[in-house]
């Protein structure tokens, strides 16, 4: 009788252990199907877990680089819009200077031209102090203060830095930020440093009676306006080139993200079809074990001896 009791106890113990193992397999399969991840703990597959950690680190770094590229693209795009507006202002100023240089334009006409040039100068000043979507000035270089200031006499001075810094957008790839204001609005005419603001302000003063020969002053201003337009055009080309560079990097980042996602799926992703098959197999085995256990456990010692 002791032998029968011991045998029954061993059978019950083995059955319970087997059913517990099957339940564990079922829960793991269900979890893998629900989460799409076949590795719950590093101990499940240490080599694969190490690969997944490396992939996750690269994905985290790629996310930072992607954010940097997106912000840089937005900043360069804003700078491009402002420079394009600057070109329009300067082009209109040049057209007015041509009119002022005409001998047929009288004093009243030149005063009207001077008034419009003053408005254009205000627009130019506003564009030069334009801001990115983040609120940071576009043309201040590394400074966060407005890059151009105007004194009581109307003279405009650049107060930003002469460099803009760079942004890391990919492994081993850094792209310069927008141009500092001195590279957009300042230039030389005949070897003499000047700016678009100085050219406009000088022309306004000449047309308002500050010059005994306004025609000559207007002709002289044309040279400065041409230099201002060339400088703005060169700045727009540089910004456009950097925008194209950022776009190319973003395309590469998208491809890299797809590659990392595919690699992560291969290393740690669940094979849904295989997991469902394992789940069904475990469920069938558990059902059979439970049925067998129920039949055996229902037997009493007397029915076994009968």
How much is the pLDDT for 1? 47
**pLDDT grade for 126, boundaries at 50, 70 and 90:** very high
How much is the pLDDT for 279? 58
CB 56 within 8 A of CB 268: no
**pLDDT grade for 251, boundaries at 50, 70 and 90:** confident
- Measured in whole angstroms, the distance separating CA 184 from the mean position of its chain's CA atoms is 24
How much is the pLDDT for 305? 47
Q: What average pLDDT does the chain have?
A: 82
263 vs 229, higher pLDDT: 229
How much is the pLDDT for 61? 76
* pLDDT 10s digits, 236-246: 999 999 999 99
Average pLDDT, stretch 73-91? 96
| Radius of gyration over every alpha carbon of the chain, rounded to an integer in angstroms | 38
Where along the chain do its domains lie? 65-263
d(Cα 234, Cα 231) in Å, to the nearest integer?
A: 5
CB 142 within 8 A of CB 181: no
Inform me whether the pLDDT recorded for 198 exceeds 90: yes
Phi-psi map region of 301: left, alpha, beta (phi>0 left; psi -120 to 50 alpha): alpha
**pLDDT grade for 27, boundaries at 50, 70 and 90:** low
d(Cα 204, Cα 154) in Å, to the nearest integer?
A: 11
Average pLDDT, stretch 230-254? 92
CATH topology of domain 65-263: f41 fragment of flagellin, N-terminal domain (1.20.1330)
Q: What is the length of the chain?
A: 306
How much is the pLDDT for 7? 59
CA dihedral over 51, 57, 60, 64, signed as positive or negative: negative
CB 48 within 8 A of CB 55: no
Average pLDDT, stretch 215-219? 93
**pLDDT grade for 269, boundaries at 50, 70 and 90:** low
175 vs 301, higher pLDDT: 175
Would you tell me how many other CB atoms lie within 10 Å of the CB of residue 3? Answer: 7
230 vs 20, higher pLDDT: 230
How much is the pLDDT for 143? 93
């Amino acid at each position: 009788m002791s032998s029968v009791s011991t045998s029954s106890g061993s059978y019950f113990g083995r059955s319970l252990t087997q059913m517990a193992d099957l339940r564990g397999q079922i829960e793991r399969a269900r979890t893998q199907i629900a989460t799409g991840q076949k590795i719950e703990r590093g101990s499940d597959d240490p080599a694969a877990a190490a690969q997944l950690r490396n992939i996750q680190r690269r994905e985290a770094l790629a996310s930072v680089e992607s954010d940097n590229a997106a912000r840089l693209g937005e900043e360069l795009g804003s700078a491009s819009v402002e420079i394009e507006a600057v070109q329009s202002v300067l082009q209109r100023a040049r057209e007015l200077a041509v009119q002022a240089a005409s001998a047929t334009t009288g004093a009243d006409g030149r005063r009207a031209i001077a008034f419009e040039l003053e408005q254009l100068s205000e627009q130019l000043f506003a564009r030069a102090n334009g801001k990115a979507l983040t609120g940071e000035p576009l043309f201040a270089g590394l400074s966060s203060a407005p890059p151009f200031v105007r004194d009581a006499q109307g003279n405009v001075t650049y107060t930003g830095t002469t460099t803009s810094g760079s942004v890391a957008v990919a492994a081993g790839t850094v792209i310069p930020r927008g141009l500092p204001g001195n590279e957009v609005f300042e230039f030389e005419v005949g070897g003499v440093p000047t700016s678009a603001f100085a050219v406009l302000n000088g022309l306004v003063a000449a047309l308002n009676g500050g010059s005994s020969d306004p025609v000559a002053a207007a002709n002289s201003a044309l040279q400065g306006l041409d230099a201002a337009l060339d400088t703005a055009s060169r700045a727009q080309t540089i910004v456009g080139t950097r925008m194209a560079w950022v776009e190319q990097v973003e395309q590469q980042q998208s491809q890299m993200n797809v590659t990392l996602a595919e690699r992560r799926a291969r290393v740690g992703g669940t094979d849904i079809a295989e997991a469902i098959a394992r789940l069904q197999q475990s469920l069938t085995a558990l059902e059979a074990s439970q049925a067998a256990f129920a039949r055996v456990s229902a037997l009493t010692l007397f029915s076994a001896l009968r």
